[in-house]
Structure 1
Amino acid sequence: MYHPTVGDSPTYEVGDDEVPWLLGTQLTKQWGPLARAPDGARVLLIEAHGFARRLPYHHHKLTLVFSAMRRFRDRLTEAGYDVIYLEAETFGEALSTFFTDYPETTLVAMRSPSYGSERRFETLVEEAGGECRFVENEGFLSTRAAFDEWADGDDGFTHERFYRWMRRETGILMDDDEPVGGAWNYDEENRKVPPADWDVPPAPTFESDPVTERTAAWVSTEFDTWGRSEDFAWPVTRRQAAIALRHFLEHRLPTFGPYQDAIREDDWAMSHALLSPAVNLGLLHPLEVIEAVEEAFETRPEVGLASAEGCIRQLLGWREFVRHVYRHSMPELATANQLEATHELPDAYWTGETSMACLGGAVDDVHARGYAHHIQRLMVLANFATLWGVEPSQLNEWFHATFVDAYHWVTTPNVVEMGQYGHGIFATKPYVSSANYVDKMSDYCAGCPYDEDATTGEDACPFNTLYWDFLARNEDDLRSNHRMAMLYSHVDRKREADDLEAIRDRVTELRQLADGGKL
């Protein structure tokens, strides 16, 4: 049974009069209430449709969630479980139905990481006349209590300090009390650009099945979705997720490390694991992925430390970190906007209609599959929105709706804080750049009509113009930041040379172009 390894693992039993209630992101027999229930036990799954009408979610995202739930239902039924699978508009309606049929039953459910969900579910269960016992979410590697004790009331979290603590506590990639290889991370080795003749490792594919096909067709008719409905490419069962993990280990892990920050216009997947949708649904536990990566590093010479550590850091470090940051900073984080950004999200994020090769290419990738890798997310999509001055909750809503692996607890720290410097709970400066970074790490600029070296003029790359305008308009808030001192020395030189007025004029032109759909 998988369970958190940092902190006291949950110890509880599921009684004969109790029924495991599994949410759509907890589709597992490997941990949680169902792992503690006897074979053939009654289990509740609720397919609530109302949430899918709130936003124009990506077609693949809804297909993934509903297909995974339905395939899990069928798997449990075939294994002899008494599955109560309720389809309803709301959880409240389904719970009323359940407790009408099983009035003496107590539900047992793992807490959802989404803010306020436990309190909402408690209220709905009470209104339905039933009872529910909530237990620790075992889909993570650290418990809430362990993190809180480590943080000890200090909200000035840093990922690096947390990551080192997690490495020491778990012993993963450790040699006694020191990191294997002598360094905690290998960022400097993770920023290479693949040569033009690089053999791209294949992305995993999965045979379609009748349940997923029917679900995809139903999603098309039932909901107002965004994105392509064709070419669905995500695992919807634990078996498929295990295949995806093995595929990554064999074909992609060796080159994941050096090329994880690189972007190629014609390759949506590069060497990325593509496992986050399966992990966030409960089809894989993060620990089993980490253990498999560590074993590959220890047994296969072609898997370098930079690849293994870079992958493990995403799960052991970053995923755990943002989960706890979200807990500690909600609800304020959801509406945080410390730079007082007020602009609307450009229509190009929904339409993909822009002459900017990088922004258009990233949006097209998301539109096609509900996915873009972390550098596209941070240094293209979030970077542009921050420079544009987009109000953070708007970008957060877009990420939440359009990415197959996105949930509120995931996107809010990543988008509002890391992407847009909205709060300050852990980001020490805005994560922004000019076109120089995009040009260095991608091949977008080669085919773009904008000049990546120009700041003003009709063909100047918007990233350059917006970058200096962002620094100038946020000077009162950012100049005192010691990490930005050198940048503001450049701003001073541009001001002395009277360049800022031309930059502001060009920004006005860019906003007019965006309003007309011609950015």
Structure 2
Amino acid sequence: MSDSTTLWLLGDQLDPTLDALAAADEVLLIEASGFADRKPYHAHKLTLVFSAMRHARDDLRERGHDVTYLRADSFGDGVAAFLADRPDATLRLMRPPSHGAGERLREIVTAHGGTLELVENERFYTTPADWHAWTGEHDSDRTYRQEHWYRHVRRETGVLMDGDAPVGGEWNYDDHNQETPPDDWEPPEPRRFEPDALTRETHEWVTERFDTWGNDSLDGFGWPVTREEALAALDDFVERRLPAFGRYQDAMVGTEPFLAHSLLSPAINLGLLDPREAVDAVETAYEERGVEPGGYDPSSAETTLEAFRSDDGPDGDDTTGGSDDATDGDGGATDVYGDAASVPLNAAEGFIRQVLGWREFMRHVYREAMPELATANQLDQERSLPPAYWDGDTDMTCLSEAVGNVREYGYAHHIERLMVLSNFALVYGADPRELNDWFHLGFVDAYHWVTTPNVVAMGSFGTDVLSSKPYASSGSYVNRMSDHCASCPYAVSRTTGEGACPFNALYWDFLKENEELLRGTGRMGLMYSHVDNKDDAEWEAIRDRAKRVRELAAEGEL
């Protein structure tokens, strides 16, 4: 039996500072590419994943590690090649977050005569033991709510805490993160990393070897592929875009795919950047340059994403395209939030909530809810995704913009993902599994453990494990949070008839179609009071319009 230990690093475990590396005699990386034959992945996603692995190989070698790098069709082929001349080798692997992956890889190693030890994954703040200590005994029928978990982790880690109380006195500043920017606001350009020779070589191989989807040119590719670039991306976000991130976090602006978002999720999910580093950098920036949030009175805002998260919820009835109260406040960012270098508390807390709260929460809910979560479909929705999700060809400005951003960059920010891409698929009646596959293959930061709870549970309401009501809305929400409706040929002020916003009739038809399940959830009362106020003639017009919208969408003519 060999006394040496080989640390097997997967393609999402590329952090050269891992504690597990210190105890390893050798490092194994297997570039298993067969998965990319099974779906038409975005060319940028495949380029990013394979380039990051190859750069990590070189970086680890420069740091003095003995690295074996194997290219194979499958992990089975790679393990067989590695163990061919060392049948008694002991491998160690940080447990992958995707369901059953660790056990499947252990079976592969065992079948080829080796031994695989699974150890805790360092790529997260919290462990399964931490989660179970908080939740108690596992219950397959249990539902989970992020806010309670988020507060618990804040207390345990001390992040943004003032003793036993949250910094600023509030746990969550989401109601300060829902403004739309003024017309003359220009977001800081994100840091773009010019592809080097190895990335270009990788991209050429990807586009020749695989059938891909989306933009297959490197012109729009600027993602960090090395640890050094990931750290530079973090510094750039904290210094230049974090000050504006909070207040415009939920906004959608035409021709501005990135706004002030961090764009760090690909690097974090690959392991090039530790989530603790991102949280610590943002918390430090607030400690050094922080100001209190301010501006409009959030109690005056109408339909916001927070309403979806609260017990009240939006009624979805306002399709008149009224003004967004959240933008009628006290002027520009410098008036309310200090100078351009200041870091508002709502910006720092909003980012930290995404990483420390939501990312950790998704990982654990995924573990608890699988494997049933992957096929959950409590609304029995079975329609195929409309062609617009693949070609972006639709007159709906919001959908065209969101799909266009995914096709071009392999990216769309969280509101586009939830309130346009998932929302439309939900009220249209798309199969959650097909939507999940689309997110998985199209987004550069998507992995099964990330997309499945977000898309199947939250976006598609395939199960109530994450939320007690669906994230469905009419065109009113898009109108309040974007500039899309002003240039759209569809009228957001109309529900029925030719030229009416497709979201509106689909929304009401969705509520009527799923009334038996949704009316009794306890959080849908206001919505169904509006359902009850519509007479037979109005419902006939709504259903006619919804039917026509679905026909046009299915034919690629919407």
Please say whether Structure 1 and Structure 2 have the same fold, judged by a TM-score greater than 0.5.
Answer: yes
Deviation at 1:448, TM superposition (A): 0.7
* Aligned residue among 439, 452, 456 for 1:399: 439
Residue in 2 aligned with 1:427?
A: 467
- Paired residues of 2:387 and 2:555 also in contact (CA < 8 A): no
Q: Does 1:211 align with 2:250?
A: no
Deviation at 1:78, TM superposition (A): 2.5
Q: Does 1:62 align with 2:46?
A: yes
Deviation at 1:406, TM superposition (A): 0.2
- Equivalences, count: 501
* Aligned residue among 522, 526, 538 for 1:499: 538
The equivalences for 1:60-459 within 5 A come to: 60-153=44-137, 155-230=142-217, 231-301=220-290, 302-459=342-499
CA distance in 2, matches of 1:188, 1:512: 37
CA displacement, residues 168-203 of structure 1 (integer Å, 9 cap, x when unaligned): 000111111111111110011000111111131111
CA distance in 1, matches of 2:403, 2:550: 19
- Paired residues of 1:190 and 1:257 also in contact (CA < 8 A): yes
CA distance in 1, matches of 2:59, 2:527: 57
CA distance in 1, matches of 2:176, 2:3: 54
Deviation at 1:32, TM superposition (A): 4.4
* Aligned residue among 19, 32, 38 for 1:48: 32
Deviation at 1:83, TM superposition (A): 1.2
CA distance in 2, matches of 1:516, 1:194: 35
CA distance in 2, matches of 1:255, 1:221: 40
- Paired residues of 1:265 and 1:443 also in contact (CA < 8 A): yes
Deviation at 1:295, TM superposition (A): 0.3
Helix, strand or coil: the match of 1:298?
helix
Helix, strand or coil: the match of 1:479?
helix
Deviation at 1:506, TM superposition (A): 1.1
Deviation at 1:123, TM superposition (A): 1.1
- Paired residues of 1:32 and 1:110 also in contact (CA < 8 A): no
CA displacement, residues 5-30 of structure 1 (integer Å, 9 cap, x when unaligned): xxxxxxxxxx9510111000000121
Deviation at 1:129, TM superposition (A): 1.1
> TM-score, length-normalised on structure 2?
0.88
CA gap of 1:390–1:32, structure 2 versus 1, over 3 A, is farther
Percent identity, aligned pairs only, is 56
CA distance in 1, matches of 2:208, 2:539: 51
CA distance in 1, matches of 2:85, 2:283: 47
- Paired residues of 1:28 and 1:34 also in contact (CA < 8 A): no
CA distance in 2, matches of 1:205, 1:95: 36
Name the aligned partner's letter for residue 148 of structure 2: R
CA displacement, residues 382-429 of structure 1 (integer Å, 9 cap, x when unaligned): 000000011111100100000000000000000001101111112110
Name the aligned partner's letter for residue 50 of structure 2: F
CA distance in 1, matches of 2:134, 2:514: 34
- Paired residues of 2:32 and 2:75 also in contact (CA < 8 A): yes
Helix, strand or coil: the match of 1:325?
helix
Q: Structure 1: any 5+ residue segments left out of the alignment?
A: 1-14
- Alignment RMSD (CA, Å): 1.1
CA distance in 2, matches of 1:116, 1:477: 31
- Paired residues of 1:392 and 1:416 also in contact (CA < 8 A): yes
